[in-house]
Chain A
Amino acid sequence: MESRPISERRDASDDFRAQMLALIPSLRAFARGLCGNRELADDLAQEAMMRAWAAHASFTPGTNFRAWMFMILRNQFYTTMRKNSRMTSWDPEAAERLLVEAPPQQHHIHMHDVEKALQKLPVEQREILMLVGAGGASYEEAAVITGCAIGTVKSRLARGRVALAALINGPDEVVMKKTVRSKPVRGRLPKHPSLTPSM
């Protein structure tokens, strides 16, 4: 491989640091959405930053730095999740209990309910909801970060939305529990076109 001029490498290093600084808020948010715990999420984000720095020579300036950083963070999350039982993981029994509980007797659902419900989803759906739904990434970027096809991103997003709506709204909003995976919940949580995958 042809090495770049020294001046260009210097600029790249400065740029690398600046880009990383700008990304910290988004990295923290993505990490928090993944693991559901502030301290663990910050540890995860910092670990990803250190790994990114260690591997910075492999990053090609001008390419999508954000996607590259998110990919590192995501890989770190899966590595840590395998080692750390404190990390939130898909708990079908907990989700089942939540689905059969009576709906909340209130007219507004707060952010805490959304965060709580999000953590009940399979991590594959949660990461897509965090990237595309929460963070505003495109399908293409989410596909790069998660290493799956765009069609898979769309289907996980669609399933994640339905499951999240079901968890938030309670069983009344899910016509039948068995239909959660295939039948969208309509009425109370109308879909935005940008999150309605066009297959």
Chain B
Amino acid sequence: MGITTEYGQPGRGTLPNAWNDGGGQLGNNISKRHGGEAMDPEFDSLTAALRQMHDSIANEPVPDDFLDLLDQIDAKISASKKLL
């Protein structure tokens, strides 16, 4: 039995890591493990499943509500600049 994940398949390359610039732990280690060396047959399918779950959400188009909210923040930023 295994978990059906895109990243769970050997040879898929490095995983995207949203925390890379913050010293992310998982992605960095996996990058090293996938860095041209032979694939570890014991690739962690549980981690891969969690990563895929995260990435599937993160890759969704950002809903308009969020962009509207950012527009509101922009307006506040502009307003605050005018006061300076």
Contacts and interface: CB of A to CB of B under 8 A. Distances in A.
A136 B77 contact: no
A137 B15 CA distance: 13
Contacts of B49: 109, 111, 114
B1 A169 contact: yes
Do most interface residues of chain B lie in helix, strand or loop, or is the interface mixed? helix
Interface string B19-59: 11011111111100000000000111111011111111111
Interface residues of B, number: 50
B81 A10 contact: yes
A90 B74 CA distance: 38
A70 to B, nearest CB: 10
A175 interface: no
Contacts of B26: 132-133, 136, 192, 194-195
A191 interface: yes
A123 interface: no
Interface residues of A, number: 58
Contact of A192 (B23, B30, B66): B30
Interface of A: 6, 9-10, 13-14, 16-17, 20-21, 24-26, 28-29, 32-33, 42, 45-46, 49-50, 53, 64, 66-67, 107-111, 114-115, 118, 129-130, 132-141, 161, 164-165, 168-169, 188-195
Interface of B: 1-5, 15, 17-20, 22-30, 42-47, 49-60, 62-63, 65-66, 69-70, 73-74, 76-77, 80-81, 84
